[in-house]
Amino acid sequence: MSASGERNDAPAASSGEDVAFKSGFAAVLGRPNVGKSTLVNCLLGRKLSITSRRPQTTRHRILGIKTTPTHQVVYVDTPGIHRAAGTALNRYMNRAAVSALDGGDVVVFVVEATRWREDDERVLRRIHDTRSPVIIAISKVDRVRDKSLLLPFIAEVSRRTGCDEVIPLSARRRINTDLLETRIVDLLPVGAALFPDDQWSDRNELFMSAELIREQLTERLNQELPYRLSVEIERFSDAVDPVRVAAVVWVERRSHKPIVVGREGGTLKSAGTRARREIQSMLGRRVHLDLWVKVKTGWSDDEQALMRMGYAD
């Protein structure tokens, strides 16, 4: 599906030889914390999704668009598919991930090297009936100390999934990522670009700013607290210099607020300073950032609260 709702299948020609232009969606799925967002960022050559060491950092389905003279790949980054017996937020993330299969031209199933888990089985069940070609991407191979374990694991994943297209890679070290991109493009249909050449995402600057703030807080907070906060942009004024951004950090309990603020405001100040720099880098302009922490009891299990915060299907 294109941005206009229709797809123009008339091929475009690249300069030089007449090569049929290819375009389509590559849905990147996997369980939490297998490196999907890091891989998509690597394939795009720029930061689309925030990342952290913690699982379930990605909460939304996000499109990253890469256009070249010969093809346009729309990478669909997704939350990790997991057991959804938790909150309404958990259920939303699973729906966002699974919905990427609708209209996907290629599915990239990301599995962490030497670590097959119960949630990997859940992902496999979800993609079992897809008619799209599937590529298995074995991620984080650079972290495997005993390389003799890789070949047996690759064979086991191929057996479990019934897929012969298995590519071991490392997004962090850029090992085999070019090979993955080549195979994705090979499998795309011929057709005109789905998005303008200068568009690189379906998300706007407000969404990206909120995510960059949440990324910095996630890196600084321990245990389960990162899963109990969300960031909402209340004001974004780009008609002035510097750009003025005001954001609210929502937490679920009153006891969470002083933890997020930190001693003498240190945690919030540190996260805000780094987030402001990241937003400036994204916008290419100076930014003034104001942050507040507020309490919304049980927001992660409140469907209406989630919709107001932007978690809408």
| pLDDT (tens digit per residue) in 152-201 | 999 999 999 999 999 999 999 999 999 999 999 999 999 999 999 999 99
Are residues 236 and 138 located together in one domain of the fold?
Answer: no
Distance CA 120, CA 115 (A): 9
CB 187 within 8 A of CB 133: yes
Query: How many structural domains does the chain have?
Result: 2
Distance CA 43, CA 65 (A): 10
Distance CA 159, CA 170 (A): 22
**Which of 187, 222, 237 is at the close of a domain?**
187
* pLDDT score recorded for residue 8: 42
Are residues 125 and 225 located together in one domain of the fold?
Answer: no
Distance CA 95, CA 159 (A): 27
Give mean pLDDT, residues 96-118: 96
Continuous segment of H or E residues that includes residue 274: helix 266-283
Q: CATH number for the domain including 300?
A: 3.30.300.20
Are residues 176 and 297 located together in one domain of the fold?
Answer: no
Are residues 179 and 39 located together in one domain of the fold?
Answer: yes
How far is the CA of 143 from the CAs of 59, 115, 313, in angstroms? Answer: 25, 12, 35
Q: Is the pLDDT of residue 6 over 70?
A: no
**Token match 């003025």: residue?**
244
Residue 12 lies in a domain: no
Distance CA 301, CA 313 (A): 15
CB 39 within 8 A of CB 177: yes
The residue among 162, 164, 61, 172 whose CA lies nearest residue 112 is 172
Residue 42 lies in a domain: yes
* pLDDT score recorded for residue 18: 62
Residue 199 lies in a domain: no
**Which position has the higher pLDDT, 146 or 103?**
146
Q: Is the pLDDT of residue 112 over 60?
A: yes
What pLDDT digit, counting tens, does each position of 134-153 carry? Answer: 999 999 999 999 999 999 99
Are residues 82 and 108 located together in one domain of the fold?
Answer: yes
CB 99 within 8 A of CB 61: yes
pLDDT band of residue 223 (cuts 50, 70, 90) is: confident
pLDDT band of residue 16 (cuts 50, 70, 90) is: very low
Are residues 182 and 218 located together in one domain of the fold?
Answer: no
Are residues 93 and 224 located together in one domain of the fold?
Answer: no
Give mean pLDDT, residues 250-279: 96
How far is the CA of 212 from the CAs of 83, 174, 185, in angstroms? Answer: 26, 23, 30
Mean pLDDT of the residues in the chain: 92
Distance CA 90, CA 92 (A): 5
In this structure, of 48-52, 70-74, 218-222, the range with the lowest mean pLDDT score is 218-222
Are residues 268 and 163 located together in one domain of the fold?
Answer: no
Structural domain that includes position 108? 22-187
**Which of 159, 187, 215 is at the close of a domain?**
187
Kindly state the DSSP code that residue 114 receives in the 8-state scheme.
Answer: T
Distance CA 74, CA 82 (A): 24
Amino acid making up residue 49: S
Are residues 118 and 254 located together in one domain of the fold?
Answer: no
Are residues 256 and 165 located together in one domain of the fold?
Answer: no
